[in-house]
A and B are shown apart, each in its own frame.
Chain A
Amino acid sequence: MKKLLLSLLLALCCICSGCLGAVQADDYIYVVAIGFDVGEQCRYNISVLVQRENSSDGQSASGGAEVIAAEGDSMFEAITTMHAGGPFKLDFSRVNTIVMSEELMRRGDMNELADLAFNSIKLRQSVKLAATLCEAKSFLQGLCLENAPNITKLQFSVFENYSQEGITVITNYVQLMECIRGGRADAVIMLGGVDPAAIHRAAQESSQMTKGSAPEGGGGQEQQSDGGQSENSEQTTTDGIIRTGGMSTYVSGVALLDGWYMKGVLNGNDTKLLLLARGEFDRGNFRVPYGKDSGVIHVKMLKKPKVKLTLTPQPSAKVSMSLRCTVLQYMGDAEPQEWEMGFKEAAESYIEAELRRVFNICQKLNSDAMCFGHYASMQFSDVVAWEEYGWKAYYPALEADFSVSLELADENVTTRLE
């Protein structure tokens, strides 16, 4: 009996040790995204998108999501300021995205992340990274505008875009650090922004809901006074194409990095080509010029591209890839019978030329975004020799040649079904 009691006591000590110093779940507010901007008083303006557990007041417009911001010379100073100004304890264990403004990234301040003690605030190293053409704070606010904390919706959208269209990439902190410390390639980071028109529409709707009888012209006044941003002047990755509907925050394209420094951007279409060269493309559409008009083809990558890279006398790479395609639309000269007559060659040449163009953009920015360094490292058997070689010094001299082979999917099947 005594032994049983002793065993029970010891078992309780083990099982219940987690109850010591317990904190109620509703004492926390959960941070789902962190934004970094240039500060006015201090080095950074750090904003956090927080999500409160939905309670009875879950009918609020932002569905329990809110952006809290504070300035500080480091992230921890800003967090201290935020803590001081709120009754809740910030919990960072659910952070899934860190967003940085273009200005910070161009001056290389992303290296602040390298000094961050992730464990100290329970931040996971799988946290995704994003660069924004607007302020990171505006980007996060854009996620609150809809009637839900939309960071998870954005994430779904990103995954879908990435896998179905290939217009952006997903890079997490571990992958960024691997690129920077390993020196085999440069990181590319998803690029986002805010569609100002959507903000104005939301503001108009909100204004109409609250004021009820406000005149129609009220929305126009707000448009003009909104931080001086106008629809035309806003830099977007959608090439200034106006869209209607959707969230104010969008993700499309990538930021190109050279080490810690952001050197340029690629739009959504160029990102497809980048992903093709990286072997990370799944499927997507390309508009191929042919004769006086063009055709739209749907391309699917079945196998990763074959890369033959030689380092001597001068680094050169030959990338060959085989893609399966379906012609979605023939226009003008591009007709079904033209596929074997010249449209195929035109499509192959077009993709090869586009790949070369994107490669040249990356090379000019000294960003090995196509990851040729991975293949360079395979030429070495010794880590010391590889580290001494210094791939990035040779990268500007790399000559890349792309070869694309298109294979038409069986169109008869779909035609008959139609």
Chain B
Amino acid sequence: MRINEGRIGGQEAAAMTGIAVYAATVFTLDSQTAYSGGNATYIWLPVSIALSLAAVLIIMRVMQKKDISTLDMLLKKSFGRLIGGAASAVVILLLVTNAYFIIVDFVNMVHSFVFYDSGYWEIAIWVTVTVFLLSFWGLECISRTALIMLPLLAGIILYTLFLPVQSYSAYRLYPFPGNRLSEILIDMLDGSSRSFGAIAALLCMTNGVHGMKFARKYCIIGTAAATVFVAFTQLCIALTFDYIDLSDMLFPLYRLGMMGIEEGYFFRMDTLLLFFWMMIGVIAAAYFIYAASILWCRAFGPKDTRPAVVALSVTAASAVLLQAEGYFDEAQHFQTLVNELGWCVITLPLAAAVIQLLKRSKGAKV
């Protein structure tokens, strides 16, 4: 039986959450939408993460007070078995979608920038098998890999941001903020669905982090650190590229590495860096798949996460291959839909938390 996820420490939990938040926001940002209204993602993306964190902290607080250990229990207790199960399924879908977005972005990048002559299938299977293996071996494997890799990955990101320092120009931040306030708020709301999945995934495995109190603490540490990195990354990207160029760019962080024009030790590092970033993507995608699997098991009864990991990995891999095999427009449409309506998923656990709070108030009156 593999429903018990094992135990991980605070540093591992913070590292895992931080990596997932960074991957889900920076790497999977839809450039066309994000930059169509100017170059201010370095403001609204961190704010959207803060919004998600605030939502998760509210849910955690309620769960802690009502002695509810996991997200599926909160949904069941608030909505009942049937609707609670459906709500869990929606959250599972969000988590798998987050994994899919990360995998598809990295497969596209590796295929477009490195292995041009290789088939898409080979690269997709190569990436998804790695994600599957990591999630199959469970929480301890994912979190410890995240902690071991964290210093290296943080260093690599800072190094990448340092590379084009001579190209930074403040005029690229203008027109500032670029969009109207209402449109910026919509962007924030859209962006929050990505980061919410990364932060809320910890709610599915609070037992593994020694309870809600520790989960809350390390969730804040991991998310805060990731938010600083996200803001810094987006600011550096904004200082390097014009918003018009960015709206047409597949992966701005990769392009940063290509801005060096002087032949030297730091030249042509972009391909190498891509493989380090892929580690971030693999860890984050594995985390999402595992979180979705454990939520599935808790909500619908299976006692072993491994079959669920297999099923959800195959689902994500199939979606990746489908978009490459003639369903690209449908995949884009799906991505737009998730961007626009993903925030609705946040309302489900929030509503469940509110219901729990109301139950308490009702009890107090009686």
Q: Which residue of A lies closest to B137 (CB)?
A: A7
Q: Is the CB of B242 within 8 A of A184?
A: yes
Which residues from chain A contact B178 at a C-beta distance below 8 Å?
381-383
Q: Is the CB of A181 within 8 A of B174?
A: no
Which residues from chain A contact B262 at a C-beta distance below 8 Å?
155, 159
Which of B112-120, B197-205, B291-299 binds A?
B112-120
Q: Is A286 an interface residue (CB 8 A)?
A: no
Which residues from chain A contact B255 at a C-beta distance below 8 Å?
125, 174
Give B70 Cβ to nearest chain A Cβ, in Å.
30
Chain A-chain B contacts (Cβ-Cβ < 8 Å), number: 83
Give A278 Cβ to nearest chain B Cβ, in Å.
11
Given the known inter-chain contacts A119-B113, A126-B258, A177-B245, please indicate yes or no for A152 contacting B175, CB distance below 8 A. no
Interface size class of A (residues with CB under 8 A): 35 or more
Q: Is the CB of A128 within 8 A of B261?
A: yes
Which residues from chain B contact A172 at a C-beta distance below 8 Å?
259, 261
Q: Is the CB of B245 within 8 A of A182?
A: yes
Chain A interface secondary structure, helix, strand, loop or mixed? helix
Q: Which residue of A lies closest to B173 (CB)?
A: A378
How far, in whole Å, are A13 and B115 apart by their CA atoms in the complex? Answer: 16
Q: Is A122 an interface residue (CB 8 A)?
A: yes
Q: Is A42 an interface residue (CB 8 A)?
A: no
Given the known inter-chain contacts A14-B130, A152-B263, please indicate yes or no for A20 contacting B122, CB distance below 8 A. yes
Partner of B263, one of A96, A184, A383: A96
Which residues from chain B contact A386 at a C-beta distance below 8 Å?
175
Give A363 Cβ to nearest chain B Cβ, in Å.
20
Q: Is A209 an interface residue (CB 8 A)?
A: no
Given the known inter-chain contacts A170-B261, A184-B242, please indicate yes or no for A375 contacting B129, CB distance below 8 A. no
Which residues from chain A contact B261 at a C-beta distance below 8 Å?
126, 128, 170, 172
Given the known inter-chain contacts A17-B126, A21-B118, please indicate yes or no for A182 contacting B259, CB distance below 8 A. no
Q: Is the CB of A378 within 8 A of B245?
A: no
Q: Is the CB of B171 within 8 A of A377?
A: yes
Q: Which residue of B lies closest to A94 (CB)?
A: B268
How far, in whole Å, are A119 and B270 apart by their CA atoms in the complex? Answer: 14
Q: Is B38 an interface residue (CB 8 A)?
A: yes
Which residues from chain B contact A178 at a C-beta distance below 8 Å?
241-242, 244-245
Query: 28 interchain pairs (CB within 8 A)?
Result: A10-B129, A13-B126, A14-B130, A17-B122, A18-B115, A21-B118, A124-B258, A124-B268, A126-B258, A155-B263, A170-B261, A174-B241, A181-B244, A181-B245, A182-B244, A182-B245, A184-B171, A184-B242, A374-B169, A374-B171, A377-B171, A378-B174, A378-B176, A381-B175, A381-B177, A383-B37, A383-B243, A385-B175
Give me the interface of B with A, judged by CB distance under 8 Å.
37-38, 112-113, 115-118, 122, 126, 129-130, 133, 169, 171, 174-180, 241-245, 255, 258-263, 268
4 tightest A-B CB contacts, nearest first: A374-B171, A380-B175, A182-B242, A378-B174
Q: A378-B175, A381-B178 are in contact. List 15 more A-B contacts (CB 8 A).
A: A21-B117, A119-B112, A124-B258, A126-B258, A152-B263, A172-B261, A174-B245, A178-B242, A181-B244, A184-B242, A377-B175, A378-B171, A381-B176, A383-B179, A386-B175
